[in-house]
Amino acid sequence: MKSYSGKSWKLYPIPERLIQKKQQDYNISYLLSKIFLQREFSNDEIHNSLNKKNILNKNYQDEDFINASYILNECIKQNKKILIFGDYDVDGYSSTYLLYDYIQSLNKKCDFYIPDRIKDGYGPNMKIIKKLFSKKKYNLIIFVDCASNSFKELKYLNKIGVKIIVIDHHQIHEYNNIKNTIIINPLKKYNNNSIFCATTLVYYFIKYMNINFRRSPKFNDNKYLFFAAIATICDQMPLRNLNRMIVNNGLNNFNINNFFNFKKIINFKKKLSSSDIAFNLGPILNSAGRLGHSDLPIRLLTEANTSNINSISEKLIDLNMKRKKIQSVSFNLLNKKVHDEDNKVIFIYEKNVNEGILGIIASSFVELYGKPSFVMTKSNDVIKCSSRSVYGFNIGKIFNEALSKNILITGGGHSMAGGCTLNINKLNILKKYINNKFQKYFKNFEAKNYYVSEQNIDSLRTFAKVDLQKLEPLGNNNTNPFFLIRKNKIIKFKIINNLHLQILIQNNFKKKYLCFVFNAVGTKLGDFLMNYRKNIDLIVQINNKIIQKNSDFNLIVKDAIL
Ligand SMILES: [Mn+2]
């Protein structure tokens, strides 16, 4: 079935007897059974989904943990000067904070540094390293969520006698053994497909170190797991297997009321859900780096003084509101350009866009059009690009290859997200390069989108009440399921923030339902929905954001069938 947004929708074929068997085995609904089968959930994952009080009974261990623990332990013992170097997003802040907190809990001191997204750029560079080391002669530097490819900087640090630990999950360009440097990165092994964010690696590393080397009397497993959970969600790691358990346990087991530093920026009245993290807490923390205040979130996390916590929180909330405004203006501008193009990869350059929001815009394009998206703007004398991908098209690898072919100045990332910088005269070469790669990887590419089944709205309401939360956390590799609802009329619509559509639909039985169509203004789908008055078949999701707030049941319209 072809649709207005240019996607093709299919019913996922699962044999009836399999659905019924799973339904009986686990005493679950037909729909939930079908979704578990469609997503190939393991028995462990199903048990974890159905049992609220699940325990995290799986561990992760990396062979580099021993050597890294040994170095960190020696440095702590000998009161050496330690610097943690992080990244300006939730994963970077969280991993920096966990290490900092652990070392503090041993009554030892250490410093941290988060580079500025706009002035410094991602990861270490010679200028910042020299500046940091001119202020203090650190003996150990721990890079988190970055530096896997920073050979030049690592070699330099080595030369001046600094010990190095890197804990990272980004695609490695080319792995070189560097003396006195321990790199913890599952992607060191060729073909290893890591699913962990940096904070999860740090969490397991500290846990290992705490058990085997140096026990902290204040070691707070639940708090540390909570940070691994929020970073897993915000870094859009696949929410399957161990990551599912990390998120479920991390959010369930930690009493957020005990963490005063977040009191002002999130609602404490209830248990936090993964959508609270993905749509509220995450964007607030990330907006700081996007608008030139990369240090604020780490200061919020490490601050002890109440009035300082309050003023940092207020600044963060304010920055997030500013970010939303800038984003909606830029989104409208760039979306018009996408509208005019008809390529399999979205490749958009516009001179004056705030470079901090390129990634969010790329994300919304992937969501809207189901195509890998590269969004670019001018930054000083070069072009900065942020990109998000579709499943199976590894952006981190492609940027690494383009880097080795000298198309890029810098570049890297992981399979679903990445960034790069390039000279303006390489813009068309990069576009061609990416299009060729895409055509090679996906010869007969047609993004197939699957819906679970055709449903009437009442059955969806039941599913929303009883089953949807069993699929949580929803996100990458475990998306909010799509359903087909037939023969609905749109009887009213309203434009929200010049960006989204709110529509009222009416089914065959004259029942009315409220739906949202996000980022629809200015798209083919949006134009169509505002103007069509006959019966229409829609692809929808249940709006779990609203469900959890106990308000009325409503739907998110994702597409309309031609
Ligand atoms: Mn990360």
Domain count for the chain: 3
Distance of CA 410 to the CA centre of its chain: 21
CA of 168 relative to ligand 1 center, distance in Å: 7
Q: How far is the CA of 212 from the centre of ligand 1 (A)?
A: 26
| Within-domain flag for 269 | no
- 21 lies in some domain: no
Whether residue 431 is found in the same domain as residue 542:
no
How high is the pLDDT of residue 220?
Answer: 92
Mean pLDDT of 520-527: 88
Same domain, 221 and 84: yes
459 and 408 within one domain: no
Compute, in angstroms, the gap from residue 462 CA to the centroid of ligand 1.
Answer: 37
Tell whether 136 is covered by a domain. Answer: yes
Q: Is there a single domain that holds both residue 113 and residue 226?
A: yes
DSSP 483-548: EEEEEEEEEEEEEETTTEEEEEEE-TTS-EEEEEETT-TTSHHHHHHHH--S-EEEEEEE-HHHHT
My answer on whether 348 and 427 are in the same domain is yes
CATH of the domain at 400: 3.10.310.30
Q: Which of 197, 225, 254 is the last residue of a domain?
A: 254
Does residue 217 sit in the same domain as residue 133? Answer: yes
- Cα–ligand 1 centroid distance for 90 (angstroms): 8
Residue 508: exposed, middle, or buried by beta-carbon count in 10 A (0-12, 13-18, 19+)?
Answer: exposed
The total number of residues shown for the chain amounts to 562
| 296 inside domain | no
Query: Considering the domain boundaries, does residue 24 fall inside one?
Result: no
Residues 481, 367 within the same domain: no
Is position 301 within any domain? no
426 and 491 belong to one structural domain: no
What's the predicted TM-score (pTM) here? 0.91
Q: Are 25 and 47 within 8 A, CB to CB?
A: no
pLDDT score, position 217: 86
Percentage of residues in the chain having pLDDT higher than 90: 68
CA of 86 to the centre of ligand 1 (A): 10
Instruction: Point out the domain boundary residue: 234, 254, 274.
Output: 254
CA 87 – ligand 1 centroid, Å: 8
Is residue 404 located within the same domain as residue 495?
no
Which residues make Cβ contacts (< 8 Å) with residue 405, sequence separation at least 6? 433
341: pLDDT confidence band, cut at 50, 70 and 90? Answer: low
Q: pLDDT tens digits, residue range 54-83?
A: 666 678 888 999 999 999 999 999 999 999
Q: Sort residue 476 into left (φ over 0), alpha (ψ -120 to 50) or beta.
A: beta
Residues 432 and 476 in one domain: no
Bridge-based pairing of strands 163-167 and 181-184 is parallel
- Of 123, 175, 115, the C-alpha closest to 147 is 123
52 falls in which pLDDT band (50, 70, 90)?
A: low
CA of 474 to the centre of ligand 1 (A): 19
540 CA distance to ligand 1 middle (Å): 31
- Say how many Å lie between the CA of residue 145 and the centre of ligand 1: 5
Cα of 149 from ligand 1 centre, angstroms: 14
Distance 122 CA to ligand 1 centre (A): 11
Ligand 1 centroid – CA 88 distance (Å):
9
Q: What distance in angstroms lies between residue 211's CA and the mean position of ligand 1's atoms?
A: 25
Residue 375 domain-assigned? yes
What integer pLDDT is reported at residue 443 of this predicted model? 64
List pLDDT tens digits, range 417-473: 899 999 999 999 999 999 998 888 776 556 678 999 999 888 998 999 889 989 989
Query: Of the candidates 327, 305, 323, 326, which has an alpha carbon nearest to the alpha carbon of residue 315?
Result: 323
Instruction: Compute the distance from residue 93 Cα to the ligand 1 centre, in Å.
Output: 10
Q: Separation of 223 CA from ligand 1 center, angstroms?
A: 19
Nearest Cα to Cα of residue 213 among 385, 418, 68: 68
**The tokens 């529509």 sit on which residue?**
503
144 Cα to the center of ligand 1, angstroms: 8
* Ligand 1 centre distance from Cα of residue 169 (Å): 7
- Which domain CATH number covers 199? 3.90.1640.30
Rounded to an integer, the average pLDDT of 13-35 is: 95
Q: How far is the CA of 414 from the centre of ligand 1 (A)?
A: 9
Give the distance (Å) from ligand 1 centre to CA of residue 198: 5
Residues 239 and 232 sit within 8 Å (Cβ to Cβ): yes
pLDDT of residue 557: 95
Give yes or no: residues 427 and 501 share one domain: no
- Those residues whose C-beta lies under 8 Å from the C-beta of residue 546, and which sit 6 or more positions away, are 552, 553, 554
| Whether residue 177 sits in one domain with residue 135 | yes
Domain boundary among 392, 424, 441: 441
Ligand 1 centroid to Cα of residue 160, in Å, is 28
> If you measure from the C-alpha of residue 536 to the centroid of ligand 1, how many angstroms do you get, rounded to a whole number?
41
Distance from Cα 13 to the centre of ligand 1, integer Å: 35
C-alpha of residue 480 to centroid of ligand 1, in Å: 23
Residue 285 included in any domain: no
Mean pLDDT for the chain overall: 91
User: Of 23-32, 55-64, 172-181, 210-219, where does the model show the most confidence?
Assistant: 23-32
3-state secondary structure of 555: strand
CA within 13 Å, CB half, 477: 19
CA of 92 to the centre of ligand 1 (A): 6
CATH of the domain at 542: 2.40.50.140
Higher-scoring residue by pLDDT: 190, 294: 294
CA of 532 to the centre of ligand 1 (A): 43
What is the torsion angle, in degrees rounded to the nearest 10, for the CA atoms of residue 119, residue 123, residue 124 and residue 125? -60
Cα 91 to ligand 1 centroid, rounded to whole Å: 5
According to the model, what pLDDT value does residue 548 have?
A: 46
* Ligand 1 centroid from CA 417, angstroms: 10
| Ligand 1 midpoint to CA 475 (Å) | 16
Give the Å distance between the CA of 542 and the centre of ligand 1.
Answer: 29
Structural domain containing residue 360: 341-441
The set of residues, in sequence order, having a beta carbon less than 8 Å from that of 77 and lying 6+ positions away, is: none
Ligand 1 centroid to 234 CA: how many Å? 9
pLDDT tops 60 at residue 547? no
